[in-house]
Structure 1
Amino acid sequence: MTQFLAEEFKNAFSADHIIMFVRLIGAAIFGGLIGFEREIHRHPAGLRTHILVSMAAALFVLVAIEVPEIMRSDRDVLRVDPTRVVQSITEGVAFLAAGIVFLQKGTVKGLTTGAGLWFSGAIGLTIGLGLWSLGIFASMLGLVVLFVLRRLEINTNLSKRKSLSDEAQE
C-alpha cells in the first residue's frame, strides 16, 4: 500500500506540475483582478467568485492537456479535441454568468457582473494554456473597461440627469 502511494505521488512535484501550479496561481491573480472591481462596487459575484471561475477554467484546460499523457498507452482509443474543452468551459461559465443576470423593475441587473464572470473564465482558460502575455493583457484591458468606462458612464449619466433637471425647471 505504501509503495503504491509512493508511486502515485512520485512525480507530483515535477517541473511540469510546478508549471501547472504557477498557471493556476496566475489564473487566480488575473481573474481576481476582474473580481476585485466587482467587489469594490458591491456586486453579487465578487472577488472569490471570479477567482474560482478563473481557476476552474484553468484547471479544466490543464487536465485536458494532461489527458493524452496519462492515457498514453491507449493512444489508439484516445482522441483529444482541445476545441471541445474550450467550448465546454465557455458554455459552463456562460451558464453560471447567466444566473447572475436578472430583471428588476423593468431594468436588467447583473449584466456586467455576468460578463465579468465569463471573461474571468476566458482569462483562466488562456493562462491555463500557458498564453501568459495574452491572459495578462486581456486582464489589464478588462480592468480598463471596468474602471475607466465606469467613470465615463457615471459622468454621462450625471450630465443627462442635469440636463433633464434643467429642462424640467424651464
Structure 2
Amino acid sequence: MLPDATAFTLGDIIWRLGAATLCGLVLGLEREWRGKDAGLRTHALVALSAGLITTSALSLYAVVRREGGTADPLRVIQGLAQAIGFIAAGTIFVARRNVKNLTTAASIWFSASVGIVAGAAQFTLLAVAMGFGLTILVVLRLLDRLGLSGSAEE
C-alpha cells in the first residue's frame, strides 16, 4: 500500500499555490496592459502549474524519504524549467527580420520560475524576484517610452 502522498498541510499547499497564482496574475496583468495574447490566464496557469509540480515533487520527496527511499525533486524542477521554454518559444515570431514577443516569452518563463519558487515555499526569494521582475517589465517599459533605454523590444 502506498503511503499518504501529502507531506504538507492544506494550509501549506494553499499558501504555495496561492502565491504562485497571485504572482502569475500580476505578471499577466502587465502583459494584458500591453495588449499581448499571453496575459492573465496564461501567466497565472503557468505559475500555478509550476507551483503545483514543485509542491508535488517536494511532497513526494518527503514521503519517499520518510519511507527510507531516495528521490531527487531537483530533477522534476529542472525538467519543468527546460520544458517551459517550449511554451515560451511558441510566442516568439519573426516578421520581416523583426523578432516579436521576446519579452512575453521571457515573462512566461519568469512566471514558471516564480511558480517553482512559490511551490518550494521560498517566499522571501519570491518577493525579491517579483520586485525585480516587475521593475524590468514596468519601469524599463516607461524608460523605453521616454527613449532612455535604447531598447524597443516587446
Which TM-score band applies after superposition, normalised by the shorter structure? 0.7 to 0.9
1:57 aligns with 2:50: yes
Give the C-alpha shift of residue 39 in structure 1.
Answer: 0.6
Task: Please tell me the residue identity of whatever aligns with 2:107.
Answer: G
**How many pairs are equivalent?**
146
Gaps of 5+ in 2: none
Measured in 1, the distance between the counterparts of 2:25 and 2:71 equals 30
- Asked whether the 8 Å contact 2:8–2:59 carries over to 1, the reply is no
1:104–1:97 CA distance, 2 compared to 1 (3 A): same
Q: Residue 10 of structure 2: which of 17, 33, 47 is its match? A: 17
1:34 aligns with 2:5: no
Bigger radius of gyration = 1
Give the C-alpha shift of residue 17 in structure 1.
Answer: 2.0
Measured in 2, the distance between the counterparts of 1:43 and 1:80 equals 40
Q: Render the CA deviation track for 1:114-163: whole Å, top value 9, x for unaligned.
A: 00000010001001101001111211211111111011112218x9xxxx
- Asked whether the 8 Å contact 1:68–1:75 carries over to 2, the reply is no
* Mapping 1:1-170, distance limit 5 Å: 16-71=9-64, 75-76=68-69, 79-156=70-147
TM-score for the superposition, normalised by structure 1: 0.77
Give the C-alpha shift of residue 69 in structure 1.
Answer: 4.1
Query: Which is richer in helix?
Result: 1
- Asked whether the 8 Å contact 1:103–1:109 carries over to 2, the reply is yes
- Asked whether the 8 Å contact 1:34–1:116 carries over to 2, the reply is yes
Matched residue of 1:52: which SS? helix
Measured in 2, the distance between the counterparts of 1:56 and 1:136 equals 19
Taking every aligned residue pair, what percent have the same amino acid on both sides?
A: 34
- Asked whether the 8 Å contact 1:33–1:139 carries over to 2, the reply is no
1:100–1:156 CA distance, 2 compared to 1 (3 A): same
Matched residue of 1:108: which SS? strand
Measured in 2, the distance between the counterparts of 1:16 and 1:43 equals 37
119-128 or 148-157, larger mean C-alpha shift: 148-157
Give the C-alpha shift of residue 92 in structure 1.
Answer: 1.5
TM-score for the superposition, normalised by structure 2: 0.85
- Asked whether the 8 Å contact 1:30–1:136 carries over to 2, the reply is no
